[in-house]
């Protein structure tokens, strides 16, 4: 149930195409098999794929987010091919235990926003093909809630389980 696995399953379902999921223990082995042409298509991260695409070893077809990735504007989004509603975006968040006092949560959020907004860190993240963004705890809670609802529905439909 990795993001790459679920991205492929969602595409398979929405586009009504037949893809066979090949489980990998991470992005690196999947990328290696893609480069070796052991599999016809892989779902991987933009930072992993683009050096190989630029070198002509892979063909980057599209990004899974709902719109073009700002750091690779020539790479179309899947939705642009006519698959309306296909939007899979990965994100990273700072999480803590339930019940953090509101004052502590606000202070943590202020500091995280300050750090993520610092030019030195932003430049390093962008160099690694990450688009830094900060939100409020309420906004992030909504993202989590929406993703849990969306992915749990697909996971249940497909009978995906952790082995």
Same-domain check for residues 54 and 113: no
Per DSSP, the three-state class of 77 is strand
Same-domain check for residues 81 and 5: yes
Same-domain check for residues 85 and 107: no
Query: Which residue segment(s) compose the domain that 1 sits in?
Result: 1-89
Walk along the chain (163 residues) in steps of 10 and give the mean pLDDT of each run: 89 94 93 96 93 96 91 92 90 91 95 94 90 90 93 91 78
Same-domain check for residues 107 and 46: no
Which whole-number Å values give the CA distances from 64 to 11, 33, 56, 59, 129, in the listed order? 9, 20, 21, 15, 15
Per DSSP, the three-state class of 63 is strand
CA 92/CA 123 separation, integer angstroms: 17
Domain end residue (candidates: 62, 89, 116): 89
pTM (two decimals):
0.81
Question: What domain count does the chain have?
Answer: 2
Same-domain check for residues 66 and 123: no
Same-domain check for residues 118 and 149: yes
């Amino acid at each position: 149930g990795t993001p790459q696995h679920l991205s492929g399953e969602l595409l398979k379902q929405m586009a009504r195409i037949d893809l066979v999921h090949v489980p990998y223990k991470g992005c690196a082995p999947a990328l290696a098999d893609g480069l070796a042409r052991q599999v016809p298509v892989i779902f991987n991260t933009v930072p992993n794929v683009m050096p190989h695409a630029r070198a002509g070893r892979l063909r980057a077809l599209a990004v899974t987010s709902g719109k073009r990735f700002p750091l690779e504007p020539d790479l179309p989004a899947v939705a642009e091919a006519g698959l309306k509603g296909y939007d899979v975006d990965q994100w990273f968040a700072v999480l803590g235990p339930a019940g953090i006092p509101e004052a502590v949560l606000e202070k943590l959020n202020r500091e995280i926003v300050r750090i993520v907004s610092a030019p030195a860190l932003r430049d390093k993240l962008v160099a690694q093909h990450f688009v830094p963004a900060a939100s409020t705890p309420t906004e992030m809670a909504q993202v989590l809630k929406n993703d849990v609802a969306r992915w749990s529905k697909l996971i249940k439909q497909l009978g995906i389980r952790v082995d």
